[in-house]
Amino acid sequence: MPDADAVVEGSGLEWTHLFPGEFMANTWEWAGSIKSEGVVRAPFGDWTSAMVHETDISAVAVAALLRDGHAGRTCTPTGPEPVRRADAVRIIGRAIGREIHFVELTPDQAREHWKDVCPETVIEWFLQMGAHPDMNAPVLPDAEQVTGRPGRAFARWAADHAGGFR
């Protein structure tokens, strides 16, 4: 089966790829335990990511669709700052006005924690990524270059979505 990107690029049509970094919205998976226990249980407290706000992803997509100059380009929007996973938990805590604790899981505990949520191959991929805590940390300029304004910080995302964590 041919690579989908190659098919798109070889189609003769104008194209723009949009490959956002890790979504800030991925932290929604913590909402249940934050609400019920004030705790996040996850591996890799030092995992650092320049998570991207979903509004910035959509702003880049809209610009790519409606403005000239994006054909043949690959955009990788990220957030404006790298955030450690354990710090993201504290930032959510500040946004909701209560202390949230991060409990770091071992790889075996993480496998057990995710076994009913993800296929085994995805779990192992996550665990391999976790061995490289700064892999998603680079802040890329694409969101600001395309939209003309800096990306939204995680603290803003947490404040915007605080009600979902209370």
* This prediction's pTM: 0.87
pLDDT band for 1, please (50, 70, 90 cuts): very low
In tens, the pLDDT along 117-158 reads: 889 999 998 888 887 767 767 899 999 999 999 999 999 999
In a domain, 132, yes or no: yes
Domain interval for residue 62 = 16-165
- Our count of domains for the chain comes to 1
- Mean pLDDT for the chain? 91
The DSSP-derived string for 28-57 is GGGHHHHHHHSEEEES-TT-EE--B-HHHH
In a domain, 4, yes or no: no
CATH number, domain containing residue 101: 3.40.50.720
Residue 35: how many other CB atoms lie within 10 Å: 12
Residues belonging to the chain: 166
Instruction: Report pLDDT for 2.
Output: 59
Strands (E) across 12-151 are located at 16-18, 39-42, 48-49, 73-75, 83-84, 101-104
